[in-house]
Structure 1
Amino acid sequence: MSTHDVFNQVPDIVPFDFSRNPAMIEGLHREGAGWAEPEVRALGALAGAARAQDWGRLANEYPPVLRTHDRYGSRVDEVEFHPYWHELMRVAVANGLHGAPWTDERPGAHTARAAKFATWGFADAGHMCPISMTYAVIPALRHNPDLAAAYEPLLASRSYDFGLREPSTKSGLIAGMSMTEKQGGSDVRANTTRATPRSDGSYRVVGHKWFTSAPMSDLFLTLAQAPGGLSCFLLPRVLPDGARNPIRIQRLKDKLGNKSNASSEIEYEDATGWLVGAEGAGVKTIIEMVNMTRLDCVIGSTTGMRAGAVLATHHARHREAFGAKLIDQPAMRNVLADLIIESDAATTVMMRLAGATDRAGADPAEAALRRIALAVTKYWVCKRAPAHAAEALECFGGNGYAEESGMPRLYREAPLMSIWEGSGNVAALDALRAMGRQPETVEAYFDEVGRAKGGNPRLDDAIAKLGKELADLADIEYRARRVVELMALVLQGAQLVRHGHPAIADAFCATRLGDDWGIAFGTLPTGVHTAPILQRAFVA
């Protein structure tokens, strides 16, 4: 008898159109960017195509390598990537994921970019880091109009032009940021990097940065202590005269995940930088970049959740156990439906935040909502992603623990978004800070969730409970996570009640807001209509 007959194995999901995400497409139209649907659809088909999936897989299996010196002994500080990294970057840049909203005057440009960012991330998460930082650098750079005029057109260019050359000679630029140091971490005011003014208007920068992702970028925003206090500076890798700026890459970090992306320690050895914003206003200046990348943290987490829900559902539709397909087993239907509920909730609120980003410049209420909603959502959605990835992996059983399934890569990637741009406590305390310093954010938040009042009694009860939590300021920092978690859940529930699929909205409110839920995924109460929820993973 043959021992090699293959049966009861799941067919490859590839090719798969990753834009088949109803919560995202519905949000695209609702937030005023329906014109971008053809672009999102085209990108989704490519993201799930065999070639793009291979690009992402191989870029992670063969991570970047640091070349500090050339064969002659000269210092070069170059990072060598797998060729497929550059293919991933080329597609992302060509589709404007790095800067299109800053030059596209159509309404909903940031929303369109968010949907494309979420879609293309299915191919690989690592290269989205420099794409995100390039997107985020522009509003901060505008604090120096001369630098913005020189570099913004190239930062928004649809041309990916890799290589170490003077920025103005290139057809397109990629930017990064370098803030944290080994002694301070999130406490950037503890930075010891020094910036000394020169007579020509530039600054001499000396210091050691503990975490600098994408060190092959053309430009960096960095924080350093100037005579007037902590300040923001722009440092190009190649100076206007063609000389290399002495930005030394000391090593690449060996990370849990995000393997395709190079993260490094760097040293500024008498490097040259130019002030962005006023001396002493470094945090205020660079926080605009941070807020943009925090939005991308939310988008990245929703991408991972959607991928986990889709892949787990695909597996369950084809795998048999105990005489039936996994998806027909009641316990598995409960788990899968719960994963899809979480994914839809994250996606729906993510698209609302993207819409607020589009409108924030002209609408103070939208700006206030974005300020508080982004902080609470960054905290909660990014923290849910690792648990979601673990449960999705478990749906595969032992097959999911094997690297070739792709699930370990998804699992290793999941915690990063909760750490990048401020870990859980930083995000939660930032939400409290926003409420304390900008009380209009609280008003904007309750105006937003109040629009859903009357749509679900559990949501109404949760809004009332939240009001009591915020009215009691005793031990508020100790309760920060508890308060911000409830704010995030209420915001998600309000979005789903107003805009989500009724079955998902009802189940979300019953579980996340009504406490009719266990601790693990797959503990939905009886009576939840799982059939329409499961269909959300594979809508034609």
Structure 2
Amino acid sequence: MEPSSANTGFIQQQPIIKNQFHEDVSLQRIAKLYLPPSLLEKVTPEISRLGDAVLSQQIFDWITDAERNTPYLRGSGRDAFGRPKQELIVTEGWRKLQEFGFANGVVAINYDSSSPSNGPYSRLIQFLRCHLWEASCANTMCPAAMQDGAARLLQRHLTTPQLAANLSETEKSVFQNAYDHLTSRDPAYTWTSGQWMTERTGGSDVSQTETVATYSPFPAGHPVPLASKEENMPLGPWSISGFKWFSSATDSQMTILLAKTRPGMGVSAFFAPMRRWNPELVSPTFTGTGATGGGGTELNGVTISRLKTKFGTVSLPTAELELKDMRGWLIGQEGEGIKEISTILNITRVHTTVSSMGYLGRGIGVAKAYALVREAGVGKGRRLPLYKHPLHMRTLADLTAEYHGLMLLTFYTLYILGLDEHLSSSSSPPVVPPPIHPLTPPTPKVSPLLRTLSSLHKSFICHSTIPLSFSCMESLGGLGYLLNSDSEHLNLSRLFRDACVGAIWEGTTDVLASDTLRALKHPSAGVKALEWLVETGLAASIKKVWEGLKKKFLDKGKKQQEEEKLVSEARGLTHRLAEVVIAVLWVVDARVRPGREVEGMKRRWMAKHGFGPSGGGDGEEEDVKVEGDGLELDLAIVYGEGGPKGVVEGGSVPGVSKL
């Protein structure tokens, strides 16, 4: 018997991570549930190609570079002579990952005029792609989310007749220029955007904002200073000064920010470029013609006070910013900044949720792959591959069921978002087949349903994915706890750290739970829209839970103490409401595309979350008996019908190269 050494003895075969668009059973169900067959057939080749590309070794090398070489200020913010110098340095890996996202249209695809036939399904197609990209993007989707939100906001003001009528020709030109940058696929032309709300007085609560905007147009008869000389874009007439406590897109080319314009009035929304043209700038390293003042760009009244040191998202440059005479343009009306920024929040919140789900989906993908190559002792010298171990597979099957429930809520919210945007756009009706999802709401209920789901889904899902992501990490044992930068495709600890922020930014769990209650205070809107959803779902035990919740929301005879108690219970009520919506979606999913695996997942999920074995059970819908509720069913739930494909004894998968 030979002793082992560093290079001899047993060395674990690496798991093989396959294209998740095909291997993720839940993602496949979601795509078939929400997209018309002809449209799914049309977009599948491109999504499949992206699914392969995001798992390439080049992508993982860029991730490692972005994580290891974190952003910094050159010279700590000063030059060799002590003068302030704001030069943010990001690594090549970060830049390359951003460029990959731009070129693959992770934002632009929703605004692509060459694909009008996608109609209300554009958001679903966009986020199917984002779901695959999130775990490989090293947080570059954070500024991309704000890029998407800013594009949608500017699009509304440029294309909605009553809003566009309020814009001057100069404002139209400035907004259109920014919109064109935000929706481009050309990495050399595309912009990302900041979204500056958070100050020291509060995050989502902007009522105490200390940033002040003053209308101060440039003197008449003098040339207006430029944001960009090449594009001849002028700076805005508003001077903005203040301090933004948490900016997660410090390397962006523009921002949407909130500021107060006068006492006693609510906050207002502004667009501002990050840089401005300064004809007096001199490059100390340029000695050719024009060396005495060729001009250049500088930050537009922005000083990076310091970069944040964070638990996760370390590749993302996050900063405290001081603003002094930052020049910008008012968006909408003074005092209506919350109304304007809500357009962005609807977008950034779904991006945050899809990010959390993308991390979880990748984690499950790694756990599934690891189970195919790892063995465990089961006593008396016997060893089994983990995919044949009943306890391990039951754990992964239960994890998969929780994941699919969250996927149903995530993509139903995206479906409603797409319907809402399409209804409010001026584009022609879609030429794709009618929606196939049976929970497509009547037109009057679309916006109220989105108003409620916008806060509800983010509050529940981003909070729920954190322990589930940890379970994926745990399924790898000690390997999962390591920072596997040497095998980046297995680095679940990085994904877990980054997943934790989902429950914090764009509104914490409690902030969004409170917002959900506010949305439900309007019985003609949120409550009735949800009631339509539950009634259409046709599951009696779900209705019983809903009726109890509805009574709490609508009882107008409450005393002040009871109202305060309702607020204190907002998190629990909101999360229970999210479970009601998910339960309805489970029933519909199993009814539309029945099968042993989905029925098994549904029954287990319903029982765990207090809805009975199937969500019905009282004659309104029949309980479907699931045969073989053991290892065989667990394998089918995790790997799809028939269990894992191409596995030979010993747990290896032939014919597939490892990363």
Q: Same fold (TM over 0.5)?
A: yes
SS of the residue 1:270 aligns to: strand
Partner amino acid, structure 2, of 1:445: L
Q: Can you give the 5+ residue segments of structure 1 that lack an aligned partner in the other structure?
A: 162-170, 517-525
Q: What's the offset of the Cα at 1:299?
A: 0.5
SS of the aligned residue for 1:196 comes to: strand
Report the alpha carbon displacement of residue 458 of structure 1 after superposing the two structures with TM: 4.5
Do the aligned residues in 1 keep the contact of 2:15 with 2:372 (CA within 8 Å)?
no
The Cα shift of 1:409 comes to 0.5
Paired residue secondary structure (1:513): coil
In structure 2, which of residues 355, 358, 368 is the aligned counterpart of residue 313 of structure 1? 368
Superposed CA offset, 1:311-357 (max 9, x none) = 12222222111121223222222211111111111122212111111
Task: Note if 1:38 corresponds to 2:32.
Answer: no
Instruction: Go from structure 1 to structure 2 and tell me whether the alpha carbon gap of 1:321 and 1:29 turns closer, same or farther (over 3 Å shift).
Output: closer
**Is 2:106 aligned against 1:97?**
yes
| 1:224 alignment partner AA | A
143-152 or 402-411, which deviates more? 143-152
Residue 22 (1) aligns with residue 119 (2): no
What's the TM-score once normalised by structure 1's chain length? 0.90
1:461, CA displacement in angstroms? 4.1
> 1:231 & 1:299 partners in 2: Cα distance?
29
> Once structures 1 and 2 are overlaid, which stretch shifts more, 483-492 or 59-68?
59-68
2:367 is the counterpart of 1:367: no
Distance 1:75 1:6, change over 3 A: farther
Structure 1 equivalent of residue 56 of structure 2 = 49
Relative distance call for 1:243 and 1:480 in structure 2 (3 A) is same
Residue 481 of structure 1 deviates from its aligned partner by 1.1
SS at match of 2:195: strand
With over 3 angstroms needed to count, the CA separation of the structure-2 counterparts of 1:315 and 1:461, relative to structure 1, is farther
Q: Which amino acid aligns with 2:71?
A: P
SS in 2 for 1:336: helix
- 1:275 alignment partner, SS class: strand
**8 A Cα contact 1:18 1:122, kept in partner:** no
1:120 to 2:133 alignment: yes
Distance 1:17 1:80 in 2: 33
Q: Is the 8 A contact 2:99 2:187 kept in 1?
A: yes
Deviations 1:372-418 (A, max 9, x none): 12211111110011111111111111111111141211111111111
SS in 2 for 1:226: coil
> 206, 215, 218: which one pairs with 1:188?
206
| 1:343 and 2:403 aligned | yes
CA contact (8 A) 2:456 2:516 kept: yes
1:470 aligned partner: 553
Residue 293 of structure 1 and its aligned partner are, at CA, apart by 0.3
CA separation of 1:253 and 1:496: change in aligned 2, threshold 3 A: same
Partner of 2:530: 445
Q: Could you tell me how far apart the structure 2 residues matched to 1:134 and 1:181 are? A: 21
Task: Measure the CA separation in 2 of the matches of 1:336 and 1:313.
Answer: 8
Worse-matched range after superposition: 308-317 or 74-83: 74-83
Any idea what SS the aligned residue of 1:420 has?
coil
Distance 1:443 1:536 in 2: 37
Moved more, 24-33 or 128-137: 24-33
Letter in 2 for 1:124: C
CA distance in 2, matches of 1:254, 1:536: 42
2:72 is the counterpart of 1:12: no
The one-character-per-residue Cα deviations of 1:163-208 (angstroms, maximum 9, x if unpaired) are: xxxxxxxx22211111110122222111101111113461111111
- In the superposition, the TM-score normalised over structure 2's length comes to 0.74
Letter in 1 for 2:4: T
For residue 153 of structure 2, what is the aligned residue in structure 1? 140
CA contact (8 A) 1:229 1:281 kept: yes
State the partner residue of 2:247: 212
- Structure 1 residue matching 2:260: 3-state secondary structure: strand
Paired residue for 1:328?
388
| Residues 328 and 29 (structure 1), Cα distance of their counterparts in 2 relative to 1, 3 Å cut | closer
Residue 144 of structure 2 corresponds to which residue in structure 1?
131
The verdict on how the C-alpha distance between 1:202 and 1:437 changes in structure 2, with shifts beyond 3 A counting, is: farther
Aligned to 1:522: none
Is the Cα contact below 8 Å between 1:197 and 1:204 reproduced in 2? Answer: yes
Of residues 500, 513, 519, the one that matches 2:610 is 513
- Tell me the CA shift for residue 502 of structure 1: 2.1
Larger mean Cα displacement after TM superposition, 24-33 or 324-333 = 24-33
Q: Name stretches of at least 5 consecutive residues in structure 2 with no aligned partner.
A: 159-163, 165-171, 219-235, 279-295, 378-382, 424-442, 485-489, 591-597, 614-627, 646-659
What is the rounded CA distance, in whole Å, between the counterparts of 1:253 and 1:438 in structure 2?
43
Shift of 1:465: 3.9
Change (3 A) 1:183 1:89: same
Identity in percent: 26
Out of 249, 256, 267, the position equivalent to 1:230 is: 267
| Post-superposition offset of 1:210 | 0.4
The equivalent residue for 2:4 is 3
Shifted more, 386-395 versus 505-514: the winner is 505-514
Question: 1:62-461 maps to which residues of 2 (within 5 A)?
Answer: 62-67=69-74, 68-71=77-80, 75-104=84-113, 105=116, 106-107=118-119, 108-141=121-154, 142-143=156-157, 145=164, 146=172, 147-161=174-188, 171-200=189-218, 202-227=237-262, 228-239=265-276, 243-244=297-298, 245-322=300-377, 323-361=383-421, 362=423, 363-404=443-484, 405-437=490-522, 439-454=524-539, 458-461=541-544
Corresponding residue for 1:521? none
